[in-house]
Structure 1
Amino acid sequence: MSRVLLRGAQVITMAPHRPDAERADVLIDGDTIAAVGEGLDGAGAEIVDVPDRIILPGLVNAHLHTWQTALRGTGVDWTLADYLGRVHGSAAPRYRPEDMRIGTLAGALSQLDRGTTTVGDWCHNTLTPDHTDAALDGLAASGIRGVFLYGTPYSAAYPLSEVDRLRGGPLIGIGMAVRGPQLSTPDAAVADFRAAAERGLVVSMHQSGGEPGPGWEAVRSAGMLSPATNVVHGAGLTEGWLKTLVDAGASVTCTPENELGQGHGSPVTPHLLRLGAAPSLGTDTDAVTPADVLSAARIALACGRHHDHREAAGPFSLQATVTAKQALAWATVEGARALGLADRVGRLEPGLQADLVVLDIAGPNPIAAALYADDVEAVMVAGRWRKRDHVLLGVDHDAVRTHLRESASHLLPHLAGR
C-alpha cells in the first residue's frame, strides 16, 4: 500500500500525551497513521511538504440530516414548529429515492469540503427500502467516513428487519436513530435500546421539548444506558439526568446554532462541563443552519463562556474556564466517541486511521488558527486524498449540482407556507 510523508507542518494531534501543537511530520502507511514526529524517514514514501500549514484530525459532525441538503437555506427564518411542519409534514413524504441519494451525496461532499471526515448521518426519511438504499449509496459514494443512523418518519414504527438487512462498507457503519424515550412509550423505548444493545450498535435519539418523559425512567430502570447511547440536543434534561448519562458513559451531541435559533432550548454544554464531561457537535440540517462543524464549535465555546460570565460574582468572569482546545476536542475526539469510533479516528496517533485535514494557515497560536480557519486546503480519509489543493477529487461537480437543483425543484413546491 502507498506511503505518504507530510513534512514540516504545525500538527495538532489531539492526543492527550502530546503538546497542544508541535512542528512535526506525519507518516501514513496505507490507511493508517504510522508515526508522528520530527525528522521521520520518508524512504519509499511520497513526500508532501506542507510548511506554513496546520494539520489536525479530521472533523466529526456527529449529527446531520444529509437527506435535507436540497432544501439548503430554505428555513433560515423558521422556528422549530415551521421546520417540523414544512419539512417533515409536507416535503418529506414527497421524497423519491433519487432525492435521498443526491441529498445525501451532496451533503457528505459538502462536509468533506469543510474538513469533516466523519459524519453521523441521521436518516429518518426512509419511506421505503429503496429510499434507504439510495441514501446509503449516496453516503458511501461520497468517500466520507460515516455511521448511517437508520431512522423512520415520525409516524412510523421502527422495523428491526430493515436494520438487520442493511450492510455498511469499509468506511460506513450502521447505527439506530430511534424516537427515543421522550417521544416513545416506555415499552417501545426499552425495546429499541435493547435491540441496539443486542446488535452492538450506537442508538441515537433526539431530546428536547420539556422535562424528561416516563420513557427515560423505564430505560434507566432497565439498565440500558451505556457508552453506545447518544442523546442529541439534551435540552430539558435536568442536571440529575445529565449526570446519569455521564456516569453511564453516554454521549450528548449539541447542535448549538440550531438549538439557539429554532427553539430546542439552550445548549447543555455548560452543564456537561460542570460534570466533567463534554459534548460532541453536529450541525443538524442544511435547511436551517450552515453545515460547518468549526462554526458549531465556536458557538458552543461562546455559550460556555457566556455561562461563566453570567454566573460570575462581578459583571463578568475574570477567567476563561473553557478553552479553544476544548472546543476543537468537541469537534474531533468527542465526535468520534459519540459515534463509537474513538479507537479509529479523532486523534492523530500511530495505529489510528489516517483521517486528517490540512489547513492553509499557520500562526503563533495554532489552536486558535485551526478553530477559526476558513481555508481547508486538503482532506484525507483512510489514507486517501479526498480534497487536494482546495479542490474535491473524483467529483463530477456539474453533475452533482444539476441533480441537486432538479431535486430542489421537485421538493420546494411542497414546503407548505413558503
Structure 2
Amino acid sequence: MARILIRAATILTMDDGLGDLAGADLLVDGYRIAAIGRDITANDAEIVDGRGRIVIPGLINAHMHTWQTALRGFAANWTLLEYFRRMHAGLATLFRPDDIHIATLLGALNQINHGVTTLVDWCHNNPTPAHTDAAVRALFESGIRAAFLHGSPKPNSKPGQPHFSEVPHPRSEVERLLAGPLANRDGLVTLGLAILGPHYSTLEVALHDFRLAREFGLIASMHQGGGPAKTPGGWELLIKAGLVGRGINVVHGNDLSDDLLKRLVDLGVSFSVTPENEMIQGHGFPITGRLLNLDARPSIGVDLESVLAGDLLGAARTALSAQRALDNAESRRATGAIPETTTIPVREALRWITLEGARMLGREDQIGSLAPGKFADLVVIDAQALNLSPVHDPVASVLMQVSLANIEAVMIGGVWRKRDGRLLFDSLAQRQRELAQSGERLVREIERQGRAP
C-alpha cells in the first residue's frame, strides 16, 4: 500500500500525549499512521497539501439501524410505540435480502460521506441467513470499518409460535459468521451481538445471550427502555450471575435508576446515547449528564435514518446542547442564575464520537484518535469554507459548525474513500435508484396490505 503525507495541517489528534498541532504533518504507511509531527521527511510518499485544513480522527457512529435507509423520514412523526408496531411488526416483515443489502450499502456510504469511518451497525431485521449475509456483504462493499451487531427480528408472533422475547440468540448463526466472513477479529468488519437484554426478553433468554457473548468474546449490545421491562429486576440477577462487565453495551438507558446506573458504570458497562431520537420518540432525556456525574462518558449514535438525518456531528451537537440546557435549567432552579461557565466543553462532545466510540468497541488501541501505530482512519475538513473561516478554535469549529459540505476527504485504513468532496464509489447513481425502488416497494406493499401508517 502507498505512503501518504498530509503536510502543514491543523491536526486534532484526540490523543492526550500528542494534543492539537498546528501546521503539522501526518504520515500514513500502508493501513496505519506512521508518524505525526512537523517537518516529516518521506521522499517516496504522495504529498497532500493540508494548508487550510483540519484533520481529525475518523468519527465512530456507535449505534445505527442501517437496514432502514430506504425508509428515510418515513417514521419522522412516530412515537416509540408507533415505531414498534409499524416498523417491527409491519414494514420490517416485508424486507427481502436485496432490501437489506441496498439499505446497508447506501446507509454506510452516507456515513462515510459524513466523516464516519467506523459504524456500529445494529442489524435486527435478519429473519434468514440470506438477510444477514446481504448486510455483511454490503458493509464490506462500502469500505467502511464496521462492527456488525447481529440481532433478531421482532414481528408479532403467529399462532403456535413463541414471542420474540422467548427466543434465545441463535448460536448456529454466531458460529457460522465467525467461521466465514467475520472470522478476522481485527478485520474491516467484525462481529458483535445485538441481543434483547433483560428489558426485552425473559430471564432465561437474557442469561443464555449474555453467556453466548462471553463464550465467544463478543460485544453484547442491548436496548434499555421504552415501556415496562420484560424481566423486572433482570439486571440484578445478571449481575449476581457474574455476567455484567466490560463488553456489555447499553443503548439509551433513560429509565435506569441512579443506583443501577452507578452499579453498571462501576462494572465497566458502556453506554451509547442516541440523543435526537430519544427525545423525538419518547425515550426521555439522554443520560449524558448522569454518566458524566459518575465520571463516565457516553458514545453517540445516529439510530434511525427512518426518523432523522444520518449526521453524527449533528447528533453530538444535540447531546451537548440538551445536556447544557438541562444543566442551565438546574442551575436556575437551585441558584436563580445560569452557571458562571459552561458545564460541558466542546472537546468533551468531540470525544464522545471518537475515543468513546472506540472504547465502546474495546478498540481504543486501534481507532478513535490519531497516533503512530493506529489505523489510518481520518477525516480532512476544509476550514477555508465560508461557514468555517476564520477558525479561532478548531475544536469548536469542528463540533459546532462543520457540515457535510466541509467533509473534504475521508480515509479508512490508509485508503481514500472520499476525496475532493466526492465519494470514491462506482455506480453510486444506479445504487441510489435501487434504494429508491426498494423504499417505494416496501411502502406500496404495506399500504396494499392495509397496514399503512
Mapping of residues 111-150 of structure 1, within 5 Å: 111-150=111-150
Q: Which residue is 2:402 aligned to?
A: 373
Residue of 179, 192, 195 corresponding to 2:209: 192
Measure how far apart 1:274 and its partner are.
0.4
Q: How many percent identity over aligned positions?
A: 47
Aligned partner (choices 342, 361, 364) of residue 392 of structure 2? 364
Secondary structure class of the residue paired with 1:119? strand
Q: Which residue of 1 aligns with 2:326?
A: 307
Deviations 1:252-297 (A, max 9, x none): 0000000001001110000000001110000101000111110110
Q: How far 1:366 sits from its partner (Å)? A: 0.3
Distance in 2 between residues matched to 1:73 and 1:130, nearest whole Å? 26
Aligned to 1:332: 354
Deviations 1:317-376 (A, max 9, x none): 222121100000000100111122212100000110000000111612000111120110
1:107-133 superposed Cα distances (whole Å, 9 cap, x missing partner): 000000000000000000011111110
Identify the residue that residue 257 of structure 2 maps to in structure 1. 238
Alignment match, 1:2: 2
Q: Which amino acid aligns with 2:431?
A: V
Amino acid aligned to 1:373: V
Which secondary structure state, in structure 2, belongs to the residue aligned with residue 260 of structure 1?
helix
CA–CA distance in structure 1, aligned partners of residues 74 and 203 of structure 2: 35
Query: Shift in Å at residue 308 of structure 1?
Result: 1.6
Specify the SS of the correspondent of 1:267: coil
Provide the residue aligned with 1:226 in structure 2.
245
**Is 2:285 the partner of 1:263?**
no
Structure 2 CA distance for partners of 1:165 and 1:249, relative to 1, 3 Å: same
Once structures 1 and 2 are overlaid, which stretch shifts more, 134-143 or 362-371?
A: 362-371
SS in 2 for 1:122: strand
Q: Is the 8 A contact 1:280 1:334 kept in 2?
A: yes
Q: Could you list the runs of 5+ residues in structure 1 that have no partner in the other structure?
A: none
For residue 148 of structure 1, give the secondary structure of its aligned residue in structure 2: strand
Task: Tell me how far apart the structure 2 counterparts of residues 126 and 234 of structure 1 sit (CA, whole Å).
Answer: 24
Residue identity matched to 1:316:
I
| Inter-partner Cα distance in structure 2 for 1:245 and 1:332 | 22
SS at match of 1:394: coil
Q: Which amino acid aligns with 1:203?
A: A
Q: Structure 1-normalised TM-score?
A: 0.97
What does 1:78-117 correspond to in 2, within 5 Å?
A: 78-117=78-117
CA spacing shift, 1:135–1:14, aligned 2, 3 Å: same
Which stretch shows the higher mean deviation, 262-271 or 397-406? 397-406
Q: Secondary structure at the match of 1:345?
A: coil
Q: Report if the CA contact (8 A) 1:211-1:238 is conserved.
A: no
Aligned counterparts of 1:21 and 1:369: Cα–Cα separation in 2: 15
Q: Tell me how far apart the structure 2 counterparts of residues 249 and 14 of structure 1 sit (CA, whole Å).
A: 22
User: Is 1:165 aligned to 2:176, yes or no?
Assistant: yes
1:214 matched residue in structure 2:
233
Helix, strand or coil at the partner of 1:181? helix
Work out whether residues 104 and 135 of structure 1, in 8 Å CA contact, stay in contact via their aligned partners in 2.
Answer: yes
In the comparison of the two structures, how many residue pairs are matched? 418
Residue 193 of structure 2 aligns with which residue? 176
Measured after TM superposition, the shift of residue 21 of structure 1 is 4.8
Q: Is residue 386 of structure 1 aligned with residue 405 of structure 2?
A: no
Residue identity opposite 1:152 in structure 2: S
Unaligned runs of 5+ in 2: 155-162, 385-390
Q: Does 1:319 align with 2:333?
A: no
